[in-house]
Structure 1
């Protein structure tokens, strides 16, 4: 299967915006909603939209869920919502799976999995995979 190319900013381009947004959230008292730690940048709006950018050297995996716009259902989310499961890893390199599987195993609804290896891509699916989470800095 051929992956679908996406037009998203590189992790290096996202870094400053993500940091600025995290600073604003911390100033407002929402430090847990947007932060960075080694190997992981996290965003969560507290209402079902979330994203994790997992940094893997020169590569990255963006996983998350946008409950307003995503029509994809990965692992337990498919059963919970009574929808067919979307294989968000179809045709993807093996290194995409651990962050997505870990998030699903931790009880997170996963509606998007994007991989970065010089450019962003996603698995081909019949449904759109939503945006990179509504408030996520692009």
Structure 2
């Protein structure tokens, strides 16, 4: 497995991230393209995990929310690659990168159905459950 990252919307990494997000969020979960495909800036870093055949299989992105906090979003793994540890390794790399850049925490809005996955990585639930894109979510954080 290889992890690549980019903060450029013209990069191959970004294009691969979008393909994964379209397959998972739009294709599988029925999220409207207008809700899923938003605008980002160069402050946002897109991560993509590639399998042994160099196929993009998982993605996530993170953006600074404050001087101490990075906001993780759009964590997705292609259906055929789930359960193989790609997203877990991706989030661990994001944690390492955030810590090295001096951030103190990662936050994310987890789909409630994926909450236990994030808890296994050390994330803790905070606040009330909320609705986003028609799905129940829970705010979670991880101290770096």
Same fold? TM cut 0.5:
no
**Larger strand share, 1 or 2:** 2
Q: Which has the higher contact order (CA 8 A, sep 6+)?
A: 1
**Larger helix share, 1 or 2:** 2
